[in-house]
Chains A and B, each alone.
Chain A
């Protein structure tokens, strides 16, 4: 398949993140997995705006061919959302660690019983 290289990277990142979330037993690693997955999606959005030869969509710089500005704006929005969720996710992990003294799911489960 003649996919652009960036799309393969998107697929790898997305798959890797999902694998991480589904198999890891460490809360921090799950949070990392979510971020990898989101990074894949963000790369997908940015790459989608661009075809070779395009420049940044700034007027007044004499650029003729511009990348599509809409996915760029969407990316910014998605980044901010991803950052906010990560902050919240990490606070949950800090709190869980304060309660159970560990970030391993199996250990937490056994301590809950």
Chain B
């Protein structure tokens, strides 16, 4: 029996618990310890997920404490969990490597919280038990709130508070759904609940699915539940912005992909959920891009664009079919790379304040972040040399295959809108006529350079590899919708 599914949760937890003790040993050991922990975590996840290159492999069920899945808590590893765990761990590793300046400042709690987020995300994607899912959602969320307030500036703390209130309401709705599930079926195991769910009355089913959809909608900031996202993602320090936008939102996406097809398995329920997701997704795409057009702060622009991209993913799920769901999965991978890359790049151009005007000419003054920013935002627009072109194409083809022409048109429209606001940003950031104060430190440490290079190259590689990825995500999506 392989213990890997539980190890990927337990190992980052042990790291988080041990870090305060290790940081007491003094500044010398901090750097090597934290970074080797990051790599160790990534390696374990990769070994676990590596077994699922073949999307059709049998799921692996790990009974914690030796109790069967009906009595205790079980972890379940299948293709979808494997994809997401690898994805999230990759994003996490990039964030850990990028935030090296915090190790030097001795912010020990910063890394404690990062590793708890890491463990929580793995738990969220691996657990096969509803209440355990709630615990992991809360674990991930609670450790992310203080990260937003890391700079302890007034705006950042207020943004963290605002983010926290919204997230707690969303968790309460998810908990409500879980309690109703237990009350109705007497079970918390996902497979058992899914098997008996169709027998419940319509009122109960729609109450459960309704509160889940709203709860998850708040979590991934679909309009009209989006207002917490721009301040939280923009006021946090850059590595945390990348973590929230690039990585953490994907746990919400995972839960949507996992739970909604499981509970709204057939007939009227599934159709209703898909219609709601289509409508909200379309609204979110247009609304997110329009919000971004009105911003003067680079990180706010990127944050609003995250709202729009969550819209693309919701739209893909709403379109349904292997192409729609597969496209949503593929776009999650692309969004992780390009959005965290864009935040990483901006974070190396200026510090503290991200008003567009302060970035004038910085793209030329700091060449490596400049190039990485160009690549990542180019990918966010969705033009051909970048992988997101392929994932958007997949969603468009899914829409056309389902005969939804307006939905298919939304993606190019969104691309044009984002080209407008990124174009405006480019004119400022790559302004050749800007003057600089001498002595400003824009040098990039080697490790950070590696992270920036990886995300920028990654945006292109996903297009080169898109024939393989396309087939893989189609297979995974086929496995979910059966």
Contacts and interface: CB of A to CB of B under 8 A. Distances in A.
Q: Touch between A and B in complex, CB under 8 Å?
A: yes
Interface of A: 14, 18, 21, 27, 30, 34, 37-38, 41, 44-45, 48, 70-71, 74, 77-78, 81, 84-85, 88-89, 92-93, 95-96, 99-100, 108, 112
B240 interface: no
A92 B160 contact: yes
Nearest to B168: A34
Contacts of A84: 142
Interface string B136-176: 00100010011001001111011011001100110010011
B70 to A, nearest CB: 12
Nearest to B131: A74
B152 A95 contact: yes
A21 to B, nearest CB: 6
Given A41-B175, A48-B179, A84-B142, 8 more contacts: A14-B176, A27-B161, A34-B169, A44-B179, A78-B134, A78-B175, A88-B164, A89-B168
B182 interface: yes
13 contacts: A34-B172, A41-B176, A41-B179, A48-B183, A74-B131, A74-B182, A77-B131, A78-B134, A84-B142, A92-B149, A92-B160, A95-B157, A108-B158
Contacts of A70: 182, 188
B135 A88 contact: no
Interface size class of B (residues with CB under 8 A): 20 to 34
B182 A96 contact: no
Nearest to A22: B169
Contacts of B176: 14, 41, 44
Name the prevailing secondary structure of the B interface residues. Answer: helix
Contacts of B142: 81, 84-85, 88
Contacts of B135: 77, 81
B229 to A, nearest CB: 17
B158 A96 contact: yes
Contacts of A14: 176
Contacts of B182: 48, 70-71, 74
Top 8 A-B pairs ranked by shortest CB distance? A99-B154, A92-B161, A95-B157, A81-B138, A48-B183, A34-B168, A96-B157, A37-B172
A87 to B, nearest CB: 10
A95 B145 CA distance: 14
Contact of A96 (B138, B154, B172): B154
Contacts of A44: 176, 179
Nearest to A75: B179
Contacts of A30: 165
Given A96-B157, A96-B158, A21 B169 contact: yes
A112 B161 contact: no
Contacts of A88: 142, 145-146, 164
Given A48-B182, A74-B131, A95 B149 contact: yes
B161 A38 contact: no
Given A77-B131, A77-B135, A112 B169 contact: no
A77 B142 CA distance: 15
Contacts of B152: 95
Q: Which of A18, A81, A100 gathers most chain B CB within 10 Å?
A: A81
Contact of A112 (B158, B175, B188): B158
A45 B176 CA distance: 9
B157 A45 contact: no
A44 B179 CA distance: 8
A84 B135 CA distance: 12
A99 B235 CA distance: 15
Contacts of A96: 154, 157-158, 161
B414 to A, nearest CB: 30
A83 B446 CA distance: 43
